[in-house]
Chains A and B, each alone.
Chain A
Amino acid sequence: MKKNLILKNFFIYFSALIVFLIMFFPLYGLILTSIQPENIIRSRNLSFFPTEIIFTHFAEVLKPNHISNIYEGIKNSLIVSFLTSFLCIILAFPASYSLARLNLPAKNIILGTLISIYFLPTILFVIPLFVILVSYQLDDTILSLVVPYTAFTLPFVIWILKSFIDKLPVEVEEAAKIDGCSTLQLLIHIIFPLLRPGLIAAFIFAFILSWVEFLTPLIFTNNLKISTVALGLFRSTIDIKIGQQAAAAIITLIPVTILMIFFQQYITKVVLSGSDK
């Protein structure tokens, strides 16, 4: 029995190591490439550890007139992602309350439609949106990114917030209603503070989804006046400097990675709360 346990433990740690290597090695390779001089990257000597660490790739990429324009991209992406997440929360908070607690007609149909929209091919909606934006000369604006992003993310955010509201105790709301609280007051003074973890999780979700969006800015900002960070990174793939490309990729990655590591608990909670019904 004891020998069995040791064998089992060995097996667990061994597979944990394999999983770690598979999931993390690609990222590690990227980091390695970003901090090594170009001649070492291009040499045929395989080494999994840095022999010479430099940060010139990062410095080059962050220069204002670099081909990837990553500096401008970060600024635009931050603005667009913040606006999107903010708009999403403002729209989704009342909507999810309505879906979770109020006597809304055809509730299940609305919820089902919202969620299934997320899985439909995005390109189906992008073609006419492009035509509309061009005909009103709204392409290449922040608006042309924020509105579609918000719409693409909204169903997901509503679903997250609804599953959080479902978990709140109804008694608090009932007590407040007996005390003469209107629904609006209830939403602002009672539900909003109680829902804080859910709101944070939803905000992060929306932020990450907008940060990684690629197809929409690729099509809607065709003159490249407004470049997002993902587009900037893509443009660096045209260049041949591998080190700078890796550095640009890391810079793109940093904000979302920090969010992920700090709020991993919240995000796990979202998934766990959604599936146990």
Chain B
Amino acid sequence: MTDLLNQPSNSQFKFSREKILAFTLILPSLILVFITYLYPAIFTFVISFAEYDIIRLKIKKFIQFKNFEFLISNYFFTSSVLRTIYFGFLICVCTTILSFLIALLLNEKFIGKAFLRVMIVLPWAVPSVVSGVLWGQMFHADTGFLNALLYQLGVISGYKIWLADPLVALHVIAIAEIWKAIPFMTLFFLSGLQSLPSEVFEAAAVDGANVFQRFSNILFPLMLPIAIPLFLIQFVLAMKSFDTIFVLTRGGPGGGTTTLNYFIYQEAFETFNLGRASAAAYVLLIITLAVVLIPTISRFLIKFFWGNK
């Protein structure tokens, strides 16, 4: 920015005026983003090394890495980190596979396709609180459809309290998240499928490749560049999920559905230990960055060691 202000020459003046105009147009957005993201992120970083007085809203004292040390030795924290990674992985694997299959279906011609597409996109607009309520009712011990259905079919002998089992509850939350995540990814896969050249498939069919060969040799490698970013984005979004957990189980039973994001919420707004919560938030940030960066780095390494692919 400074160098373009110090440019006196006339020919470059016009050029830099456009730059100034471009900058002015985007400046309000950047200011807002700075106030609500960058400044808070720095603030969180600072208080993650401190003890924060919630009543006087001041930093009490700096305690170096004590917050992080506490977290690492805390069983609830470490188990919630592992749970978060499992939870994120489960959701993005299931969502990717299901969305891809649904996109394959929507890529075919059939009557009622437009209607089905609307029905598939709909869960995206469902507020996650509603999705929590909805799946809560589905798995409700007394009135849920699942209990009634399984009971009538004779699969279970009595009504089960699904959400009382931590492991089952975690998977119920995952189902709710997957149901909500499918629409968006399906649309992206569909747009990817529609941009593929159909000649390749026709040529393969003429050459006698069967459905599975066409899938594994053509479709799969062609879709991989679309699938990998979607997979990672879903991983990151799944680790962020909060609303469904809050509505369905509030992290329970016995902390069995507490993901890292929920752990941070509890530390910050239930026990009001902002220092620890901030430290945990930075751990979540590091995990998020790792998820995004590991594939990029590994691709770079592969390129570096094995040459251009």
A→B interface (CB under 8 Å): 9, 12-13, 15-16, 19-20, 22-24, 26-27, 29-30, 33, 41-42, 44, 46, 91-92, 94-95, 97-99, 102-105, 110, 114, 116-117, 119-132, 134-135, 147-148, 150-152, 154-155, 158, 183, 208, 211-212, 214-215, 218-219, 229-230, 233-234, 237, 242, 245-246, 249, 252-253, 256-257, 259-261, 264, 267-268, 271-272, 275-276
What 3 pairs between A and B have smallest CB-CB spacing?
A151-B36, A102-B22, A128-B43
Contact pick for A155, options B33, B121, B194, CB 8 Å: B33
Q: B125 contacts A151, CB within 8 Å?
A: no
Q: In the complex the two chains form, is B138's CB within 8 Å of A252's CB?
A: no
Q: Which residues of A contact B72 (CB under 8 A)?
A: none
Whether B127 lies near A253 (C-beta < 8 A) is: yes
Task: Choose one: A9, A249, A256; the contact of B134 (CB below 8 Å).
Answer: A249
**Interface-side segment among B73-81, B144-152, B298-306:** B144-152
Contact indicator B133/A103 (Cβ below 8 Å): no
B146-173, CB under 8 A of A: which get 1 and which 0?
A: 0011011000000000000000000000
> Could you tell me the distance between the alpha carbons of A122 and B292 in the complex, rounded to whole angstroms?
16
On whether the beta carbons of B226 and A275 are closer than 8 Å, the reply is yes
Q: A95 to B25, Cβ gap below 8 A?
A: yes
Which residues of A sit under 8 angstroms from B19, Cβ to Cβ? 102-105
Q: Which residues of A contact B201 (CB under 8 A)?
A: none
Do the beta carbons of B264 and A123 come within 8 Å of each other? yes
Complex CA–CA separation, A1 to B262 (angstroms): 55
A16-B116, A264-B118 as given contacts; A276 in contact with B247, CB under 8 Å: no
Are A102 and B25 closer than 8 Å at their CB atoms? yes
What is the CA–CA distance of A15 and B261 in the complex, to the nearest angstrom?
36
Residue of B nearest to A30 (CB): B134
- The residue on A at minimum CB distance from B140 is A242
Chain B, interface size category, equals 35 or more
Give Cα distance in the complex from A91 to B35, angstroms.
Answer: 14
B284: chain A residues at CB < 8 Å are 121, 123-124
Write the chain B residue with the least CB distance to A211.
B127
Give the nearest-CB partner of A148 in chain B.
B36
B208 touches A (CB below 8 Å): no
**Which DSSP category, helix, strand, loop or mixed, fits chain A's interface?**
helix
The answer for the CA separation of A93 and B172 in the assembled complex, in Å, is 40
B119 touches A237 (CB 8 A): no
Residues of B within 8 A of A91 (CB): 28-29, 32
When C-beta atoms are compared, the residue in chain A nearest to B115 turns out to be A20
For window 232-287 of chain B, which residues contact chain A by CB distance below 8 Å? Answer: 233, 236-237, 239-240, 242-243, 246-247, 261, 264-265, 268-269, 274, 277-278, 281-282, 284-285
B179 touches which of A23, A245, A259, A264 (Cβ 8 Å): A23
Q: How far is the CA of A230 from the CA of B132 in the complex (A)?
A: 11
Distance between Cα atoms of A260 and B118 in the complex (Å) = 8
Which one of A41, A132, A147, A260 contacts B122 once the chains associate, using CB atoms below 8 Å? A260
Contact call B21/A183, Cβ cutoff below 8 A: yes
Which one of B63-71, B185-193, B214-222 contacts A? B185-193
The residue in chain B whose Cβ has the minimal distance to the Cβ of A187 is B25
> With A46-B152, A268-B121 given, can you name 6 additional A-B contacts, CB distance below 8 Å?
A16-B112, A23-B179, A154-B32, A214-B128, A215-B243, A259-B125
- Tell whether, in the assembled complex, residue A257 and residue B105 are in contact, meaning their CB atoms are under 8 Å apart: no
**Given A9-B110, A127-B277, A128-B44: A110 in contact with B129 (beta carbons within 8 A):** no
Whether the pair B44, A124 counts as a contact (CB closer than 8 A) is: yes
With a cutoff of 8 Å between Cβ atoms, the chain A residues found around residue B240 in the complex are: 119, 121-122
| Chain A residues whose CB sits within 8 angstroms of the CB of B277 once the complex forms | 123, 127
Q: Do A121 and B288 have beta carbons less than 8 Å apart?
A: yes
Q: How far in angstroms is the closest Cβ of chain A from B105? A: 5
Say whether A119 contacts B226, CB under 8 Å: no
In whole angstroms, how far apart are the Cα atoms of A211 and B179 in the complex?
A: 19
- In the bound complex, residues from chain A placing their C-beta under 8 Å from that of B32 are 91, 147, 150-151, 154
Find the B residue at minimum CB distance from A16.
B116
- Asked if B195 lies at the interface with its beta carbon under 8 angstroms from chain A, I say yes
In the complex, the answer to whether A233 meets B22 with C-beta atoms within 8 Å is no
Contact partners of B116 in chain A: CB under 8 A = 16, 19-20
CB-nearest residue of chain B to A256:
B125
Contacts of A121 in B (CB 8 A): 239-240, 261, 264, 281, 284-285, 288
Question: How far apart are the CA atoms of A94 and B24 in the complex, in Å?
Answer: 9
CB-CB nearest in chain B for A125 = B40
In the complex the two chains form, what is the Cα distance from A68 to B274 in whole Å?
30
Please state if B36 and A237 are interface contacts (CB–CB under 8 Å): no
- Asked whether B119 lies within 8 Å of A208 as measured between CB atoms, the reply is no
Give the shortest distance, in Å, between A94 (CB) and chain B (any CB).
4
